[in-house]
A and B are shown apart, each in its own frame.
Chain A
Amino acid sequence: DTEVTQTPKHLVMGMTNKKSLKCEQHMGHRAMYWYKQKAKKPPELMFVYSYEKLSINESVPSRFSPECPNSSLLNLHLHALQPEDSALYLCASSQVDLGLSYNEQFFGPGTRLTVL
C-alpha cells in the first residue's frame, strides 16, 4: 500500500464551526506532515510529526491544532477559522532512516476547505 488517504475530500465550514481533517498512511512511515496550498502556489509547510511527536510548527495560528494519535494517523482540528484559511490542505508522509534522514514525501489528494 503506497497511498496516503485524506478525508473529507471537500469541507465547507462557518467561522464558528469546529471540524477535523483526517489523514492515514499504511507505508510504515514515521514522519507525517500537514501543508496548506493556495491555488497555483507551492505548498506551505504547517506541521511535521516525527515518531508521533510534533517536531516542526511553522508558527501556525492556534486555530489549527494537529494531533497524531498513532504512527498511521494524523488529524488537523479546525476551530474559529477565517475566510483566508480557505485552501487545499495536504497531508504527506515519509520514511525516516536510522540516521534521522527524512526521505521523499508522498502526498495525499488533499481536502479542499472553504470557510464562509
Chain B
Amino acid sequence: GEDVEQSLFLSVREGDSSVINCTYTDSSSTYLYWYKQEPGAGLQLLTYIFSNMDMKQDQRLTVLLNKKDKHLSLRIADTQTGDSAIYFCAVRNAGNNRKLIWGLGTSLAVNP
C-alpha cells in the first residue's frame, strides 16, 4: 500500500525559510495536503496541491511537487515563532479517495 514519509524534526531561526519534505510511493496519488497541528489543537488544513500541478503559492507558503521523484515539499518563508507546530503531509489516491494516507509529521521548532 501507499507509504508517506517525512523527516521527524526541523529547527530553524526566526526569519529564515523552512523547508519540510515528504515522499510518497503511490504514483496514482491525486491530491497532496499539508496540515498543521499546534500543541493541544486540532489539524488545520494549510494548503494542498493537485497532482497535475508542479507548484502552488499562497502568501508565505510554497508547495512544490516533483511527480517523477514522488517528492512534495512545503516552504515557509520568513518563519515566525507562531509557525512552531507539527506539519503532516497526507495524500489521497484515486483508488480510495475517502481515505488519507498520513506521514508521521515533522515537528518544526522556530528559535528566536
Contacts and interface: CB of A to CB of B under 8 A. Distances in A.
Interface string B92-109: 100001111011110100
* Interface of chain B, main secondary structure: strand
Interface stretch (A38-46, A59-67, A75-83): A38-46
A55 interface: yes
A110 B42 contact: yes
Interface in B3-55: 31, 33, 35, 40-45, 48
Q: In which size bucket is the chain B interface?
A: 20 to 34
Given A42-B104, A50-B98, A56-B98, A104 B44 contact: no
A21 interface: no
Contacts of A40: 86, 105, 107
Interface of A: 4, 6, 31, 40-43, 45, 48, 50, 55-56, 90, 92, 100-102, 104-110, 112
Interface of B: 31, 33, 35, 40-45, 48, 86, 88, 90, 92, 97-100, 102-105, 107
